[in-house]
Amino acid sequence: MSLQHARSALVFGGSGPIGAALLTRLMVQDWTLLAISRRPPAPSPGPAAMRWLPGEFAAMPELPEQVDVIFSTGPLDHFARWYANARIRSARVVAFGSTSVLVKSTSSDPEERDLAQRLHVAEQTLFEAARERGAAATVLRPTLVYGTGQDRNLSRIAAMARRSGFFLLPSDAQGLRQPVHVQDLAQAAEAVVDVAASAGKAYALPGGETLRYDEMVQRLLRAMQPSPRLIRLPAPLFRGVVSVARRLRKIDGLSDTVLARLREDLAFDASAAREDFAYAPRAFTPGDVPLP
């Protein structure tokens, strides 16, 4: 790929947390960017080489015939189906998936197993379509993403703790986690573009530090001002509190499967990413968890 001209990219999911960080990074590197979003940001002064187009996979706007790279930072299954039938040419495709393809494949929850299967099929569809076109495709699988206030994990915990002044956890919430910052993911997406060895591969992208779930939450709360209190409850008592909160419709998304996962180690090996494109994520920085 020539370095004598400003490289061009088509970016999906640019209004999301990873996509926004990626666009910011690529603009600094003088890429020519075309971003697709169902709800593009309001017009504002900015680089002439950055354009937003309203659209979605089912109703795509007119696109150029060719770009240097296609980046996808949104749902992988939707992107893979679109790419398999798209006419735009690109020698390089970099798409974000999820470690859920591994974590949830044996879940007791049928919806989670379905998600894992859809991610698996999407990865295979993308790789096959890229091979047929002579393109190089890479899938990046981040772990627990944070850094913009748009995530549904740490930012949600911070918001709940701020409102109540405390946060409840079961005493056995000690499964390992590796929170990863969006800026490290954006750097990885750009770095992998020029690595020929990454073609046809999927990489786990964990953060640079492995923590127990309760330790991660404790550090997050201590970084807040004022600092909410972390209250650890015996697991049976915590389940009882959750059951009451469900009946009162005070919480959602906290299924028994999700609760059980708090005890599970969700830690991944980043050695392949380190070896192939010098992936070096930062340690967990809880001060970088903005409130939504």
Mean pLDDT, to the nearest integer, of 150-167?
A: 90
Mean pLDDT, to the nearest integer, of 152-170?
A: 92
pLDDT tens per residue across span 102-112: 999 999 999 99
pLDDT at residue 254, rounded to an integer: 74
| Residue labelled with tokens 């005890």 | 263
> CB of 163 within 8 A of CB of 228?
no
Q: Is residue 123 located within the same domain as residue 75?
A: yes
Q: Is residue 22 located within the same domain as residue 110?
A: yes
Instruction: Name which of 181-190, 208-217, 282-291 the model is least confident about.
Output: 282-291
Whether 136 has a pLDDT exceeding 90, the answer reads: yes
Whether 3 has a pLDDT exceeding 50, the answer reads: no
pLDDT at residue 43, rounded to an integer: 59
Residue among 118, 70, 84 nearest 98 (CA): 118
Task: Calculate the CA dihedral of residues 156, 17, 181, 114 and round it to 10 degrees.
Answer: 70
Show the domain range for 100: 7-142
Q: Is residue 136 located within the same domain as residue 11?
A: yes
pLDDT at residue 47, rounded to an integer: 56
Q: Is residue 51 located within the same domain as residue 157?
A: no
The answer as to whether 30 is a domain residue is yes
Q: Is residue 106 located within the same domain as residue 165?
A: no
Q: What span, in angstroms and rounded, lies between the C-alpha atoms of 95 and 202?
A: 9
More confident residue, 4 or 245: 245
The answer as to whether 157 is a domain residue is yes
Instruction: Name which of 65-69, 92-96, 104-108 the model is least confident about.
Output: 104-108
CATH number (domain holding residue 54): 3.40.50.720
> CB of 72 within 8 A of CB of 50?
no
| Domain end marker among 142, 162, 187 | 142
The answer as to whether 282 is a domain residue is no
Q: Is residue 26 located within the same domain as residue 135?
A: yes
The answer as to whether 126 is a domain residue is yes
Q: Is residue 92 located within the same domain as residue 46?
A: yes
**Residue-wise burial string across 178-188, b where 16 or more C-beta atoms lie within 10 A, e elsewhere:** bbbbbbbbbbb
Q: Is residue 121 located within the same domain as residue 219?
A: no
* Model confidence, pTM: 0.92
pLDDT tens per residue across span 105-133: 999 999 999 999 999 999 999 999 999 99
Q: What span, in angstroms and rounded, lies between the C-alpha atoms of 261 and 48?
A: 46
Q: Is residue 167 located within the same domain as residue 241?
A: yes
More confident residue, 93 or 258: 93
The answer as to whether 207 is a domain residue is no
Structural domains in the chain (count): 2
Q: Is residue 73 located within the same domain as residue 130?
A: yes
The answer as to whether 279 is a domain residue is no
The answer as to whether 251 is a domain residue is yes
Q: Is residue 18 located within the same domain as residue 53?
A: yes
pLDDT band per the 50, 70, 90 thresholds, residue 253: low
Q: Is residue 128 located within the same domain as residue 109?
A: yes
The answer as to whether 76 is a domain residue is yes
